[in-house]
């Protein structure tokens, strides 16, 4: 190989290595912005619920374990002895943005009270940078508020996590007593999903935000309802399958349609029949029916 060709090859290799390093550095430096998107889906300031939904709501203010001020929303049921849905939303928007108001209306129609929190950096909560540790602490603060301020027994709390919210929901279910856990559109872990999006980068090595749901769910003892839309384009269906396979009994699996956000609307009858039956069995202290493993996609 001539010196000129050798220099050319070395230059190309150096540029490739440099470009790879720049891409890896960009991913690491922007990880927080990629994982947490509080301004998307109409995020920002929390707005009143539409009058057309006929929901009576209250603003919620509490303080997380590290002193972070948090804001949320409470929608009480008429029955003071009703179950409470502790709701943890996804990575975009806030407690009243996007499709959440009609979702709350359907939950309320089941006779449940609702408590939903905005993580730090979201909605009207304190403008601190979100992190896995912080978000988990914020979920715990909502749970503690229900137990100590509202004096709700753990047997009347159902933890619900959608998308990113499945991370703090699973962590909370692992470390707290509750009636049951529902996760929808959940991922196995942030690094797993990141590696699918950036297969040429060492995401598992770079990631600091992990939400290792797959590692945790097998240790969650309470009844679990795992729901995932087969046509979910944000979190692949296989993530839900793997989570359900790793979960210990008692557990139920529900395959949905309607993508990542609209299953409760587009697959309404299927969605709410299973959620309603699951919550009714929890309230009556009845066994949760077992589901077979979902077929591989």
Which pLDDT score, from 0 to 100, does residue 43 have? 75
Which pLDDT score, from 0 to 100, does residue 92 have? 94
Which pLDDT score, from 0 to 100, does residue 13 have? 44
Which pLDDT score, from 0 to 100, does residue 39 have? 87
Which pLDDT score, from 0 to 100, does residue 292 have? 73
Which pLDDT score, from 0 to 100, does residue 15 have? 41
Which pLDDT score, from 0 to 100, does residue 32 have? 80
Which pLDDT score, from 0 to 100, does residue 6 have? 56
Could you say which residues of the chain have pLDDT below 70?
1-30, 297
Which pLDDT score, from 0 to 100, does residue 214 have? 98
Which pLDDT score, from 0 to 100, does residue 69 have? 98
Which pLDDT score, from 0 to 100, does residue 294 have? 78
Which pLDDT score, from 0 to 100, does residue 44 have? 78
Domains in the chain: boundaries: 36-283
Prediction pTM value: 0.91
The full DSSP string for the chain is: --HHHHHHHHHHHHHHHHHHHHHHHHHHHTHHHHH-BTTSTT-SS--PPPGGG----EEEEEE-TTS-EEEEEEE--SSTT--EEEEE--SBS-TTSTTHHHHHHHHHHTT-EEEEEEPTTSTTS--PPP-HHHHHHHHHHHHHHHHHTS---GGGEEEEEEGGGHHHHHHHHHHS--SEEEEES--S-HHHHHHHHSTTS-HHHH-S----HHHHHTT--S-EEEEEETT-SSS-HHHHHHHHHHSPSSEEEEEE-STTT-HHHHTHHHHHHHHHHHHHHHHTTPPPPP-PPPPP-
Which pLDDT score, from 0 to 100, does residue 82 have? 96
Domain 36-283 in this protein, CATH class: alpha beta
């Amino acid at each position: 190989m001539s010196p000129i060709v050798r220099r050319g090859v070395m230059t190309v290799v150096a540029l490739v290595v440099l470009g790879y390093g720049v891409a890896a550095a960009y991913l690491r430096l922007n990880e927080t912005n990629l994982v947490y998107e509080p301004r998307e889906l109409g995020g920002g300031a929390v707005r009143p619920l539409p009058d057309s939904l006929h929901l009576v709501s209250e603003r919620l203010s509490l303080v997380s374990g590290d002193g972070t001020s948090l804001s949320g929303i409470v929608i009480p049921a008429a029955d003071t002895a009703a179950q409470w849905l502790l709701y943890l939303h996804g990575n975009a928007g806030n407690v009243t943005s996007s499709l959440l108001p009609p979702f709350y209306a359907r939950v309320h129609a089941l006779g449940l009270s609702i408590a939903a929190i905005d993580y730090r950096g979201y909605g009207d909560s304190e403008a601190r940078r979100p992190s896995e540790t912080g978000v988990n602490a914020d979920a715990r603060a909502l749970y503690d508020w229900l137990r100590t301020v509202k004096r709700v027994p753990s047997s009347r709390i159902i933890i619900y996590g959608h998308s990113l919210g499945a991370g703090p929901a699973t962590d909370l279910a692992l470390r707290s007593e509750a009636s049951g856990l529902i996760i929808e559109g959940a991922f196995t872990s942030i690094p797993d999903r990141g590696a699918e999006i950036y297969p040429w980068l060492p995401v598992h090595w770079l990631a600091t935000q992990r939400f290792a749901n797959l590692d945790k769910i097998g240790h969650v003892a309470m009844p679990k309802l795992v729901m995932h839309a087969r046509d979910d384009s944000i979190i692949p269906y296989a993530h839900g399958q793997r989570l359900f396979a790793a979960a210990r009994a008692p557990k139920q699996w529900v395959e949905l349609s309607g993508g990542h956000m609209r299953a409760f609307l587009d697959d309404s009858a299927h969605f709410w029949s299973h959620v309603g039956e699951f919550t009714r069995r929890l309230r009556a202290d009845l066994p949760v029916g077992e589901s077979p493993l979902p077929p591989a996609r």
